[in-house]
Chain A
């Protein structure tokens, strides 16, 4: 990795209060994101995977400050917010593409105007913004003469998501956060949009944070992958080495749940039973111990730290830590 990463996140935490009772007192917290740290290097794609409700989307929203973090630091290109960088500048540099292509476009606005909105806000002249919107539409593969004046309901899902990508690119960001950006598209359209994202990245020198629950897509897109479980990072590292040799039992379970096109590699039994525990009241110790086939006493008592595990990888599991007291500690690789 080069000297300064484009994005460095340290100890990011966001709890959403659950209010109840007569006067809306806080009765509990949803521990959406609980102290996660990671880095994204210039020009790489970091994939984020995990089950629904594990904090993937909250992480995305925290990164573009749609949600204010309770704690933690987000350093963008060596500069922190309010410490060398204004919010407006951060918003020019980091943009986001949402999952729901329809809800993320104003139905009353022609798509060309939706794309031109950001640059207009940042002071571009109307005529220049319109020209830029046309250029971006061409860049995402839509003929501006045909599409600039159309309304979102006149477009297909794939076309709308191309418009959303164009809108995100309108401010010339360096970091684009793709929050399940292709999950709602059907497979052939998904492939086209993924290729488009790849081409744009190469052409514009972008850095991606790619959030998805589709492990195949993440493998195709990402250089590194971060696995989240109940608001925590359980494993992070190069995508190929993690897919080949998962060190955390949760990662292993996720990967073995992947449907395979190879009939000789059938998934024989459900690797994970039940739903993830309630993030309002996560289990003590390791958050995964309630569903982990290797859970032992230390897992119920102490929370494992995110420790290095060779080949540029970090894993949060007691089996990875010889000092943890877990009987399998040190016998790496057996979890898979």
Chain B
């Protein structure tokens, strides 16, 4: 076995220097907590996607006779409701799995949209500085003046209930914080000497942003945005809870939490299930984004 020493012959192959993102992936894979969270999220996403083929009950079909049955209830016909039934006698397991589709969609898509728009605004403001920065950031501040829940409710209320409207309102809610982070990271990157060196080599603003700014800004902003997914899910649930988001009988965790709240004394375990799902998915996204942040910190 050849020792990998510094005295290797000059013909020895150069050590393989993988790219930055390969290193991030390697460090993330070693993070047990992040990997566990990723596994949970993957399982939930797969279940949501493959729901029709999992042999679940019809999430829309209820039964007056079997309302609010406890966890593990088995009908005389031999069908087991593993997680009980809701206030209309619908199978909770099926509704939770199908509900994951909409809940995840409402958590991820607005954040993705806001990530694109907010990063663009923030990078533009941070790189241009001066009056452009002033114009963009003061406009953002106007939205910042309202608490995010209030803003989401106000926009949804103005646009009317419905999934696409809550999507839009959540996107608007998340643009300001993402633009803020993108602006501050860009401003600090902009001040570094390598940006000056790139300017001194005659590169235009667009080229400098593409080659030197994006790579250094999008990472931290992306980490921040993953942390917002859980907030988006909770806000979306809140909108549904208030009747501004999803409409019944669509399964969605926030809406289910709302309709089951009357059962909190009779079937507390069943009533708590949608909340538990929201909690689990949120905390998994948060821990995953934490893991991503440490994996991306080169100086660790």
Whether A106 pairs with B216 at a CB distance below 8 angstroms is yes
Whether A122 lies near B20 (C-beta < 8 A) is no
- Closest beta carbon of chain B to A3's beta carbon, Å: 28
CB neighbours of B207 from chain A (8 A): 121
B64 at interface (Cβ–Cβ under 8 A)? no
Report Cα–Cα, A99/B299, bound state, in Å: 20
Give the residue of A64, A65, A149 whose beta carbon is less than 8 angstroms from that of B14. A149
CA A154 to CA B19, docked complex, whole Å: 12
Segment from B79-87, B195-203, B226-234, B255-263 that makes contact with A: B195-203
Give bound CA distance, A114 to B212, whole Å: 9
Residues in A whose Cβ lies below 8 Å from that of B201: 91, 95, 117-118, 121-122, 167, 170-171
Chain A residues with CB under 8 A of B193: 98-100, 103-104
A316→B165 CA distance, assembly (Å): 72
Q: Mark A82-106, 1 if CB is under 8 A from B, else 0.
A: 0000011001100110111001111
Contact A153 B298 (CB under 8 A): yes
B194 within 8 A of A: yes
| Bound complex: CA A65 to CA B202 (Å) | 10
Report B211-224 CB contacts with A as 1/0, cut-off 8 Å.
Answer: 11001100000000
Mark B66-78 against chain A: 1 for CB-CB distance below 8 A, else 0: 0000000000000
Contact of B200 with A117 in the complex, beta carbons under 8 Å: no
Q: Who on chain A is nearest to B17 by CB?
A: A149
Contact A109 B212 (CB under 8 A): yes
Interface membership of A150, Cβ < 8 A: yes
> In whole angstroms, how far apart are the Cα atoms of A98 and B200 in the complex?
11
Residues in B neighbouring A146, C-beta threshold 8 A: 14-15
- CB of B192 closer than 8 Å to a CB of A: yes
B197 touches A96 (CB 8 A): yes
CB of A200 within 8 Å of the partner chain:
no
Residue pair A151, B20 in contact (C-beta under 8 Å): yes
Binary CB contact string for chain B from 283 to 300 against chain A (1 if under 8 A, 0 otherwise): 000000000000000110
Interface centre among B199, B201, B207, B299 (most CB of A within 10 A): B201
Per the bound structure, the CA–CA distance linking A294 and B130 in Å amounts to 45
* Interface-centre pick from B15, B20, B193 (highest chain A CB count, 10 A): B193
Closest to A171 in B: B201
Q: How far is the CA of A150 from the CA of B193 in the complex (A)?
A: 19
Alpha-carbon distance between A65 and B207 when the two chains are bound, in angstroms: 18
Q: Does A284 contact B (CB under 8 A)?
A: no
Instruction: Compute how far the CA of A91 lies from the CA of B204 in the bound complex, rounded to whole angstroms.
Output: 12
Q: Which of A126-156 contact B (CB under 8 A)?
A: 145-146, 149-151, 153-154
**Contact A66 B199, beta carbon cutoff 8 Å:** yes
In the complex, whether A110 has a CB less than 8 A from a CB of chain B is yes
Contact of A154 among B14, B17, B200, B216 (CB under 8 A): B17
Q: When chains A and B are docked, how far (Å) is the Cα of A117 from the Cα of B201?
A: 8
Is the Cβ of A107 less than 8 Å from the Cβ of B17? Answer: no
| Complex contact A91–B17 (CB within 8 A) | no
Please indicate the chain A residues that have their CB under 8 angstroms from the CB of B196 in the complex.
Answer: 61, 66, 96, 98, 104
Partner of B203, one of A103, A107, A121, A145: A121
Q: Whole-angstrom distance between the alpha carbons of A117 and B204 in the complex?
A: 12
A122: which B residues are within 8 A, CB to CB?
201-202
- Residues A151 and B197 in contact in the complex (CB < 8 Å), given A92-B202, A121-B207: no
CB distance from A180 to the nearest CB of B (A): 11
CB-CB under 8 A from A87, the residues of chain B are: 202
Closest to B192 in A: A103
A151–B17 CB distance below 8 A: yes
Can you list, as one digit per residue, whether each of B174-200 has a CB less than 8 Å from chain A (1) or not (0)? Answer: 000000000000000000111011111
Tell me the complex Cα distance, A170–B203, Å: 14
Q: Residue on B with the closest CB to A110?
A: B17
Complex: chain A residue closest to B20, CB-CB? A108
Within 8 A of B (CB), among A109-123: 109-110, 114, 117-118, 121-122
Task: Name the B residues within 8 Å of A91 (CB-CB).
Answer: 200-202
Which residue of A88, A96, A150 contacts B202 across the interface (Cβ within 8 Å)?
A: A88
Choice from B194, B215, B299 contacting A104 with Cβ under 8 Å:
B194
Identify the closest chain B residue to A95 (Cβ).
Answer: B200
Is A106 within 8 A of B215, CB to CB? yes
Shortest CB-to-CB span from B167 to chain A, Å, is 32
- Asked if A145 and B14 make an inter-chain contact with CB atoms under 8 angstroms apart, the answer reads yes
B299 touches A153 (CB 8 A): yes
B194 contacts A106, CB within 8 Å?
A: yes
Given contacts A87-B202, A122-B202, A149-B14, contact A104 B197 (CB under 8 A): yes
- Name the residue of chain B whose CB is nearest to the CB of A66: B196
Q: Are A66 and B298 in contact (CB under 8 A)?
A: no
Question: Which residues from chain A contact B15 at a C-beta distance below 8 Å?
Answer: 146
Question: In the complex the two chains form, what is the Cα distance from A221 to B204 in whole Å?
Answer: 34
Interface residues in chain A, defined as those with a beta carbon under 8 Å from any beta carbon in chain B: 61, 64-66, 87-88, 91-92, 95-96, 98-100, 103-110, 114, 117-118, 121-122, 145-146, 149-151, 153-154, 164, 167, 170-171
Given contacts A106-B198, A117-B201, 18 further A-B contacts (CB under 8 A): A65-B200, A66-B199, A66-B200, A91-B202, A95-B200, A103-B193, A107-B298, A110-B17, A114-B194, A117-B198, A117-B203, A117-B211, A122-B201, A122-B202, A145-B14, A146-B15, A149-B14, A151-B20
Task: Write the residues of chain B forming the contact surface with A, with a CB cutoff of 8 angstroms.
Answer: 14-15, 17, 19-20, 192-194, 196-204, 207, 211-212, 215-216, 298-299
8 sampled A-B residue pairs with Cβ under 8 A = A95-B200, A95-B201, A103-B194, A107-B298, A109-B211, A151-B17, A167-B197, A171-B201
